[in-house]
Amino acid sequence: MSAAAVAAQTRVELTLTLRRGESVLLTLGIPVVLLAFFSVVDVLPLPAGVREPVDFLAPGILALAVMSTAMVSLAIATGFERSYGVLKRLGATPLGRPALLAAKTAAVLAVEALQVVVLVAVASLLGWRPEGSALLAAGAVLLATVAFAGIGLLMAGTLRGEVTLAAANGLYLVLLLLGGMVFPLDRLPAALEAVARLLPAAALSEALDGALSAPAAVAAGPWVVLAAWAVAAPALAAWRFRWE
């Protein structure tokens, strides 16, 4: 794997992501608006024991941002690259699949870093004072990124480009509602809550919430769920992915 090739590929992945208006809207616009709106406008139910909306919203919206980039944006971009024959064409260059995957990973992590900077800044302006362990939070984000990217690439590698677009957006909405991101999990009906807790979105919100509380807490449930998705989804994607 040539470092120059990975660097060039990463630069192009990042440039194209930031050039797509809908991708910037999805990864930065929507999270910032949701965070600011529901922090200021007091309409959302809050989980027991939380006083300020932003204290509940900030970890959840960070989780939403990770999901937008690692799953939705990656799935849509890769799905269209597949239907436009870009992946096929790259297959006939010396770049190689490991290098392509490395470049996509680097680009996703770079966008996530940008999202964290922007969202933490906005949340701080709204009065959020994160405590706990940033390292633990970063670990949860990395684990979730692997899980979400696996789901995104599974869709991109098996469905047509347009179907991937629709499916990724649909899944985004479902996981937004069932992810404990803007709507507390304990307000869901019991059966739905049980299902939601097995999904990676809620697991990430919970893990982030625990990591950024004082003292930092590691609840076994969310971390086990995240780890399971982080193993299963990429494995399934690697097995089912079709390059043409």
Partner 1 sequence: MPASPDLPAVSVAGLVVRYGRVTAVDGVSFDARAGQVLALLGPNGAGKTTTVETLEGYRRPDAGSVSVLGLDPVDDHAGLVPRLGVMLQRGGVYPGIRPREVLRLFAAFYPDPEDPDELLERVGLSSVARSTWRALSGGEQQRLSLALAVVGRPEVAFLDEPTAGVDPGGRQVVRQVVRDLAAAGAAVVLTTHELEEAERLADRVVIVDRGAVVAAGTLAELTAGGPAQEIRFGAPPGLDAPALAVALGAAVEEVAPGEYLVGCAPTPAAVAALTAWLADADLPLADLRAGRHTLEDVFLRLTGADHDEPDRARAGDGRAARSARQGRSGP
- Give the residues lining the site for partner 1 (CB under 8 A): 2, 4-5, 7-9, 12, 15-16, 19-20, 80-81, 84-86, 88-89, 91-96, 244
Q: What's the min distance (Å) between Cβ of 168 and partner 1?
A: 18
Given the complex with partner 1, which of 94 and 215 has the nearer CB atom?
Answer: 94
Choice between 45 and 85, CB closer to partner 1: 85
Which one-letter DSSP state was computed for residue 183? S
Query: What is the Cα–Cα distance from 183 to 48, expressed in whole angstroms?
Result: 12
Nearer to partner 1, 16 or 166 (CB): 16
Q: How far is the CB of 164 from partner 1 (least distance, A)?
A: 15
What dihedral angle (degrees, nearest 10) is formed by the CA atoms of 119, 49, 223, 121? 10
CB of 9 to partner 1, least distance (A): 7
Q: Least Å distance between CB 67 and partner 1?
A: 23
With b for 16 or more beta-carbon neighbours within 10 A and e for fewer, the 123-132 pattern comes to: beebebebeb
Q: How far is the CB of 221 from partner 1 (least distance, A)?
A: 41
Distance from C-alpha of 40 to C-alpha of 182, rounded to nearest angstrom: 13
Q: Where are the alpha helices (DSSP H) in 73-128?
A: 74-83, 86-90, 97-125
Residue with Cβ nearer partner 1 (72 or 87) = 87
The nearer residue to partner 1, 7 or 109, going by C-beta atoms, is 7
DSSP state of 69: I
